[in-house]
Amino acid sequence: PFQLLELRDKLEAAFRVIELSRSRLHQSREEVNSRQTELNAFLIALLCLRSPSLAELAENLNKAAQWLCQHVEGLSEAERAASPRLGSAYVLGRLTLPDSLLHEPLTRNGYLSHELMVQVPLGAATVCRHHPQLAPLAPILSSLAENWDGSGFPEHRRAWDIPFSSRLFRLIVDFEELLWISPQPPPLVAAHLERYARQAYDVQLLPFISQYAAVRETRSDVLAVGLHELHEGMVLAHDIQTRTGLKLATAGTVLTQRLVERLLRHHANDPIVGLILVRRSAEGSP
């Protein structure tokens, strides 16, 4: 009996320690989230001093980066955690520009719109290296102006030598900045970027920006689902395309059981690229 009582006391003490650790961990996470929110608010306020439109661009970039980083594989946990501030950090680099270039996009037709524009990502990377919460973003930003074919800056890196996260964020920047300077339907902007595949962009990432364009155009009506979540009655909100470029189904297609089975079979040999977007109103259809 004595041993059982002693064991019980030790177990109770251990459970108290575990609960205390959990409480401290939860409190620590809340403090981190609070500091991150405060940092982002500070960055946005700083950008507003130069131009409120810069803050608008930063917010849109933050949203796009956060959405895509949640759905695209290949990013580190640190990169995912920092993604909600990626846009704000990048736009900091625009503070180095003269007024005549302040509202110019980073690139046009796959190339820098002006030789001074290379200072935008490089300047942003320099700032990020001096802040612990922004430091994971520095490598992403420093390679942002590199092109897939090696024609970019500053090191003329090409293809897989360009960090994956930089290739992804480059697409986000060019997409959002084109919308920023010339409001138009997001799918048209995504289609425009596809013209520069293999010159400026990683062709395997283009479907993701195209899918985000569909989400951005109708945020409340589109839902991203997994391949194995598809069922009869769903309505596609975006084309389904494979890694080899084969289009298996187009936007507006109403899924049948036969088509779902065909998609599953095809995916085993020629994987479907990106997400599958369906109309939210039809998502729960039987």
Per-residue confidence (pLDDT) for residue 213, from 0 to 100: 92
CA 23/CA 62 separation, integer angstroms = 30
* pTM score above 0.85: no
Distances (CA, A) of 232 to 10, 239, 261, 272: 55, 17, 10, 18
Give which of 189, 162, 186, 185 is closest to 108, Cα–Cα: 189
Is the pLDDT confidence value at 97 over 90? yes
170-187 pLDDT, tens digit each:
999 999 999 999 889 999
Give the pLDDT band of residue 281 (cuts 50, 70, 90).
Answer: low
Q: Tokens standing for 243? A: 């890694």
β pairing state of 222-225 and 276-279: antiparallel
Per-residue pLDDT, averaged over 32-53, amounts to: 81
Is the pLDDT confidence value at 161 over 60? yes
Q: Can you identify the CATH homologous superfamily of domain 34-205?
A: Hypothetical protein af1432 (1.10.3210.10)
230-254 pLDDT, tens digit each:
999 999 988 898 888 788 999 899 9
Report DSSP state, residue 223. Answer: E
β pairing state of 111-112 and 240-241: unpaired
Per-residue confidence (pLDDT) for residue 283, from 0 to 100: 47
What percent of the chain is predicted at pLDDT more than 70? Answer: 90
Per-residue confidence (pLDDT) for residue 284, from 0 to 100: 47
- Least confident stretch, 26-30, 73-77, 214-218: 26-30
Per-residue confidence (pLDDT) for residue 30, from 0 to 100: 67
Q: In this structure, how many other beta carbons lie within 10 angstroms of the beta carbon of residue 30?
A: 10
Per-residue confidence (pLDDT) for residue 7, from 0 to 100: 64
DSSP three-state, residue 252: coil
Domain edges within the chain: 34-205, 218-286
What is the fold of 218-286?
Molybdopterin biosynthesis moea protein, domain 2 (3.90.105)
Q: Which residues contact 194 (CB under 8 A, 6 or more apart)?
A: 206, 210
CA 223/CA 278 separation, integer angstroms = 5
CA-CA-CA-CA torsion sign (78, 80, 81, 82): positive
